[in-house]
Amino acid sequence: MDGPRLILERGCDVEPVAVDWLWPGWLAAGKLHLIGGAPGTGKTTIATALAATLTRGGSWPDGSHAEAGDVVVWSGEDDNADTLNPRLRAAGADMRRVHVVGGVTDDGQSYPFDPSRDMEGMRRALKALPSVRLIVIDPVVSAVSGDSHKNAEVRRGLQPLVDLAGELRCALLGVTHFSKGTSGRDPVERITGSLAFGALARLVMVAAK
């Protein structure tokens, strides 16, 4: 028979496995998580604090222990030297375990990293690190090269990141914003862009004052 063939898995042939939690109930390996909120509510600060806790094997906010691991951070909004690095240091991060994505080099040419275009390069770089446990993308909407308000394009843009997190067995944390004029609505509906952002995430956290 010609053409694509659908692969079906019988339930009895699949061995259930437990979720690999970095922070039980909050950060799971191989899963996408979002932290959203209005400007100035501390989204990046919270993400930085979580990353710092992981690098030093500290205690999560609920008192549970974090197994130490490496963290990879990409930010399209904050400079590394004057913002990200100082924030991580202030949060007590083990800076030997922090890896901030700078740019990309190709055939002697350098250009800024674009998560919607340079995922294969990111995959190769992260595979070379010994123990990546968390990837932070700020803002996560930058991973979508198409229309971030269309479900299909959002899923297509985020899937390579989710697949990478699954391959490396690390958590993926995306920082995002609230849409204007959505006050009073369900928090997931307030996330900027398509509802696919919230639907694809394992957990959506909200920063608020």
Residues 6 or more apart whose Cβ sits within 8 Å of residue 5: none
19-73 pLDDT per residue, tens: 999 999 999 999 999 998 888 899 999 999 999 999 999 999 999 999 999 999 9
**pLDDT tens, position by position, 107-148:** 888 888 887 788 888 889 999 998 999 999 988 887 777 766
What is the pLDDT at residue 72? 96
| All residues at 6 or more sequence positions from 193 whose CB lies less than 8 Å from its CB, including other chains | 141, 144, 148, 149, 154, 176, 179
Selection from 17, 39, 42, 41 nearest residue 30 by Cα: 17
Contacts of 180 (CB under 8 A, 6+ apart): none
> pLDDT at position 1, please?
60
Q: What is the largest CA-CA distance in the chain?
A: 62
Query: Rounded mean pLDDT of 165-179?
Result: 89
Tell me the C-alpha to C-alpha distance, in Å, between residue 114 and each of 19, 35, 75, 92, 109. Answer: 30, 21, 10, 28, 15
Note if the bond before 139 is cis, omega within 30 degrees.
yes
End-to-end CA distance of the chain: 60
pTM of the model: 0.86
Quote the CA–CA distance of 100 and 114 in Å, as a whole number.
Answer: 13
